Chain A
Amino acid sequence: MVLLEIKQVEKTYRTKLGFQQCVALRGISCKVEEGEFVAIMGASGSGKTTLLNILASLDRPSAGEVLLDGIKLSDIPDRELSRFRRDKLGFVFQDFNLLDSFSLRDNILLPLVLARRPLAEMEQRLIPVADMLGITTLLAKFPYEVSGGEKQRTAVARAVITEPRLLLADEPTGALDSRASANLLQVFTKLNCLGRTILMVTHSAQAASYARRVLFISDGRLVSQLFRAADENDHSFFARIISSQSALAGGGEQNG
């Protein structure tokens, strides 16, 4: 079943006076099936974050449509948007975006509290999520008391505790060292195995190699994609991603 459908999405920014246009996305189309783990790769300025913001309903496209679960994002009225985000989407950010004034437990529970879930349900959901992410013993601590990797796993817990249809991650390993990165990506793989659909934006080939499919984006266009073969190991997929990336970079230079 198709979970996310992106149809000819374009995004144009105008400068303040409106004389110059800056095109961030030029007609992007793709589909994401339920249960997929997709990575979107691209250099800085390629438009990948713009795309993610549009998928997250934080930004609206200039043209084109995005459908999640068959619902057009453009049909959702503004006042329903935050509720929609809360129910359907989970976010993981590069710099964690945890609140210092909350303990890890409360950071994770935040979306459930905002959704007015009963207390018993919160507790019930918290335990397995914290267990899976290995942060059960840290729940009473505050964000400034734990490491970067632990913060990011807390952020993941916060993102998945609502059981969102789609997990969006924006450079989730950007602020982590290599060990914490690997650990986090294994968490993503595990979540994906449990049926969670994940869309991750990254410029790290290492991170992308954990996905089942990699989309390359360059100058606002989808330029190619790689599928991971069923029996392919991490190493070989990583090597293929690297070679695609360098081919794209070479092409870019020729064009430029």
Chain B
Amino acid sequence: MAEQSSRGFYRRLAWTNIRRNRVFCLPFALAVAVVSAVFFLCVGIAFSDGLSNMPSGATARAIFAFGVFTFALFAFFFMFYLNHFLVKQRKKEFGLYAVLGLSKNHVGRILLWENFLLIGGGMLSGILLGALFGQLLFSLLKQLIHAAPGLQLRIPPVAYLGVAILFALVFAATAVYNLAQIRLANPISLLQSEKRGEKKSRFLLPAALLGLAMLGFAYYFAWTIENYAIALGVFFPLAMLVICATYLLFAAGSIAVLRLLRANKRFYYRPEHFVSISGMFHRMKQNAAGLATICILSTMLTVTLTTTLSLYLGQEKILAERYPQDLAIYSGGAEGADAAAYDAELSDLAALYDITLRPAETEPEAISVLETLPHSLYDAQNNWFYCDISGADADATAFIQELRKGKDPLVYGYFDDIFSARQEGYTMFGGLLFLGAFFSIVFLVIAVLLIYFKQVSEGYEDKARYLILQQVGMDAQQVQDTIRRQVRWVFILPLLATMLHMLFASRIITRMLEAFLLYDWGMTLRCSLGVCLLFILLYFVVYQLTARIYYRIVRHSV
């Protein structure tokens, strides 16, 4: 009986804690919800019947399964990282519990309940979110790929199982980590853990130089690539190189630059720079990895979206490149004399579908004798008819489908037409754009959550600092300016790095797109510009919102 009531006690205490710490707990639950929704959909799509029935569905499924696995791995570490944030913030509270006489077992139980409620609640709302938005996203996808209206999304039960397994693992891992944190620490060190100093960094300059060299090499290589085969081959290695370089430069390069600034005494010992630079030191030492991750996520987002958008918007150019003539018919049976008759017959059939045939305007390459018939360009040597079609796309497609049925005895051969290709293009490039947009949103949400967690935890860390600064004689205006300057830099650095990465990436993307016969650098540039502008806009909205939270936390004390 007593055990019964005490169990309720821990749950209630956990619930109170969650409510009190909602600044952290709510976003954590939100992160769980978003990650589980995304994972739910990924697993759902990967194992849906629709995918297996699609042409080349097996390949698509393999790719998806790989994607699901990668995402699960990423989700696991991401949740673990956020949990670490959460626990770090609350170590003082655990110390207090210990001082108040709760044993480590008790604190552990409370913590388990908290995580259970947060992860469980987040997961359930995530599945709900996934099920709802899944349908919405699916109809969007159908629009993009111009799919038949009958197509439906049915999420198989395995998706629920997948999410449950993933979060059971996350729960287990965070539970072990959190319990170890409590068990290993004594109350006093927990109480003081917030104020512990940071380690001295070593090998700073070599690391910074290495990062710089890696980045320089990757940029140079990306900028000077000559053809698409090389571009496709080196894209992932270069991306890895840039990722490593970004981490090195954020961690070591930033500190090295700050040291240089600090060494310049005339610059450093001024009110505008003094507090900001030392504050940046503090932040970069602790949060360089976080900032680098935000930068990498942003770059992945813009690169993915630019590539897929370029392909989607550029597909008419690709089609025009691949299909200079709207329709090419190889007619094995037609002799020279019958060509005119065949031409007329084609035209008659076309008239039934409300379209008209014209001789192709662009001449096919490497053809010896061409004869212009009333409705087509005829290559007598190889028995090919080349036409351009005017009329509605849907009519033209119907006409070509009729041709392909092969009712006409003259035609047993081979067709190549822009309309079928266009339909395939929409499916492929639309699907790619959809995936690109989908993952961009995922990257964005993760980046936003990271930024939020950073701002809030830094806000609490900086609170005491600004109080001291005021006591030492800094006025409210100076405090505000300093906070602004520091927050601005922390925000702008990842954005600047992202834009720089993007500039060089646009070059290699253009080369890669040449593999798809898309030779339009201008359009890729326009796409990346558009994507970047959109991203900057979103980024600043996030900046405004989270900076406000930061100001509120810091100013509360001032």
Who on chain B is nearest to A117 by CB?
B269
Question: Known contacts A83-B475, A144-B197: does B470 contact A99 (CB below 8 Å)?
Answer: no
Report how far A102 CA is from B472 CA in the complex, Å: 14
Note all chain B residues with C-beta closer than 8 A to A97. Answer: 468, 471-472
Chain A interface residue count, Cβ-Cβ cutoff 8 angstroms: 31
Complex interface residues of chain A between 89 and 112 (CB less than 8 A to chain B): 91, 93, 97-102, 106, 109-111
Tell me if B471 and A91 are in contact (CB < 8 A).
yes
- Among candidates A58, A99, A109, residue contacting B269 with C-beta atoms closer than 8 Å: A109
**B197 adjacent to A142 (CB under 8 Å):** yes
A165 touches B (CB below 8 Å)? no
Q: Which of B272-319 contact A (CB under 8 A)?
A: 274, 278-279, 281-282
Q: How far is the CB of B133 from chain A (nearest CB, A)?
A: 43
A111 to chain B, nearest CB (A): 5
Count of interface residues, chain B, beta-carbon cutoff 8 Å: 25
Contacts of B475 in A (CB 8 A): 79, 81-83
Chain A residues positioned under 8 Å from B265 (CB to CB) = 119
| A203: interface (CB < 8 Å) | no
A101 B478 Cβ-Cβ under 8 A: no
- Give chain B interface residues in 433-472, CB to chain A under 8 Å: 465, 468-472
Determine whether the beta carbon of A114 is less than 8 Å from that of B266. no
**Residue among A82, A98, A122 making CB contact with B473, cutoff 8 Å:** A82
Contact with A along B247-281 (1 / 0, CB 8 A): 00000000000000000011001110010001101
Q: Taking the complex as formed, is A26 at the interface, i.e. its CB lies under 8 A from any CB of chain B? A: no
- A114 near B474 with CB under 8 A, answer yes
Whether, in the assembled complex, B405 has its beta carbon less than 8 Å from a beta carbon of chain A, the answer is no
Chain A residues contacting B271 (CB-CB under 8 Å) are 113-114, 116
Could you give, for residues 69-86 of chain A, a 1 whenever the CB lies within 8 Å of some chain B CB and a 0 otherwise? 000000000010111011
By beta carbon, the residue of chain B nearest A79 is: B475
Bound complex: CA A224 to CA B470 (Å):
34
Q: Is B196 an interface residue (CB 8 A)?
A: yes
Distance, CA A119 to CA B264, complexed state (A) = 11
The residue in chain A whose Cβ has the minimal distance to the Cβ of B274 is A113
Residue of B nearest to A85 (CB): B473
List of A residues within 8 angstroms of B132 by Cβ: none
Q: Which residues of A contact B476 (CB under 8 A)?
A: 82
Closest to A143 in B: B197
- In the complex, the answer to whether B196 meets A110 with C-beta atoms within 8 Å is no
Checking B195, B270, B274, B472 against A100 with a beta-carbon cut-off of 8 angstroms, the contacting residue is: B195
In the complex, the chain A residue whose C-beta lies closest to that of B476 is A82
Residues in A with CB closer than 8 Å to B196 are: 144
Report if A158 contacts B (CB, 8 A): yes
Measured CB to CB, the closest approach of chain A to B20, in angstroms, equals 20
Tell me the complex Cα distance, A114–B471, Å. Answer: 12
A97 to B464, CA, bound (A): 9
Chain B residues positioned under 8 Å from A122 (CB to CB): 269
Q: Is A33 engaged at the interface, CB distance under 8 Å to the other chain?
A: no
Q: How far is the CB of A51 from chain B (nearest CB, A)?
A: 17
- Residues from chain A with a CB closer than 8 A to the CB of B197 are 100, 142-145
Q: How far is the CB of B279 from chain A (nearest CB, A)?
A: 6
Q: How far is the CB of A94 from chain B (nearest CB, A)?
A: 12
Mark out the residues of chain B between 512 and 551 whose CB falls within 8 Å of any chain A CB in the assembled complex: none
CB pair B473–A99 under 8 Å, yes or no, is no
* B473 nearest in chain A by CB position: A86
Q: How far is the CB of A113 from chain B (nearest CB, A)?
A: 5
Q: For residue A162, which residue of chain B has the nearest CB?
A: B473
Say how far A55's CB is from chain B's closest CB, in angstroms.
Answer: 13
Which residues of chain A are near B269, meaning CB under 8 Å? 109, 113, 119, 122
Query: What mask results when residues 466 to 491 of chain B are scored 1 for a CB within 8 Å of chain A, else 0?
Result: 00111111111110000000000000
Known: A119-B266, A144-B196, A145-B197. A102 touches B473 (CB 8 A): no
Bound CA–CA A110/B472 (angstroms): 8
Within A104-143, the residues touching B (CB, 8 Å) are 106, 109-111, 113-116, 119, 122, 142-143
Residues of A near B477 (CB, < 8 A) are 79
Q: Which residues of B contact A102 (CB under 8 A)?
A: 278
Closest Cβ of chain B: how far from A224's Cβ, in Å? 31
> Shortest beta-carbon distance, B254 to chain A, in Å?
14
Task: Give the one of B266, B279, B468 with max A CB within 10 A.
Answer: B468
Complex alpha-carbon distance, A111 and B279, angstroms = 16
Q: How far is the CA of A126 from the CA of B293 in the complex (A)?
A: 41
Bound form: Cα–Cα A83–B282 in Å: 27
Q: Are A101 and B266 in contact (CB under 8 A)?
A: no
Return chain B residues, CB-CB under 8 Å to A114: 271, 274, 472-474, 478
Instruction: Give the residue among B265, B472, B477 with the most A Cβ atoms within 10 A.
Output: B472
Closest to B462 in A: A101
Choice from B274, B281, B471, B473 contacting A93 with Cβ under 8 Å: B471
Bound: A86/B265 CA distance, A: 22
- Determine the chain A residues whose CB is within 8 A of the CB of B478 once the complex forms: 82, 114
* A28 → B minimal CB distance (Å): 23
Q: Is the CB of B473 within 8 A of A111?
A: yes
Once bound together, how far apart are the Cα atoms of A158 and B471, in whole Å? 12
Say whether A99 contacts B270, CB under 8 Å. Answer: no
A100→B198 CA distance, assembly (Å)? 9
Contacts of B469 in A (CB 8 A): 99, 110
Q: Which residues of A contact B279 (CB under 8 A)?
A: 101
Decide: A99 near B471, CB < 8 A? Known: A116-B271, A119-B265, A119-B266.
Answer: no
- Return chain A residues, CB-CB under 8 Å to B472: 86, 91, 97, 110-111, 114, 158
A110–B471 Cα distance when bound, in Å, is: 11
Chain A to chain B contacts (Cβ below 8 Å), 15 pairs = A79-B475, A82-B473, A85-B473, A93-B471, A97-B471, A97-B472, A100-B197, A100-B465, A101-B465, A102-B278, A110-B472, A111-B472, A113-B274, A114-B274, A115-B473
Q: A58-B471, A99-B469 are in contact. List 6 more A-B contacts (CB 8 A).
A: A79-B475, A82-B473, A111-B472, A111-B473, A114-B271, A114-B478
Give chain B's interface residues, CB within 8 Å of chain A. 195-197, 265-266, 269-271, 274, 278-279, 281-282, 465, 468-478
Interface residues of A (CB under 8 A from B): 58, 79, 81-83, 85-87, 91, 93, 97-102, 106, 109-111, 113-116, 119, 122, 142-145, 158
The 6 A-B pairs with the shortest beta carbon distances in the complex, nearest first, are A86-B473, A144-B197, A82-B475, A101-B282, A101-B278, A97-B468
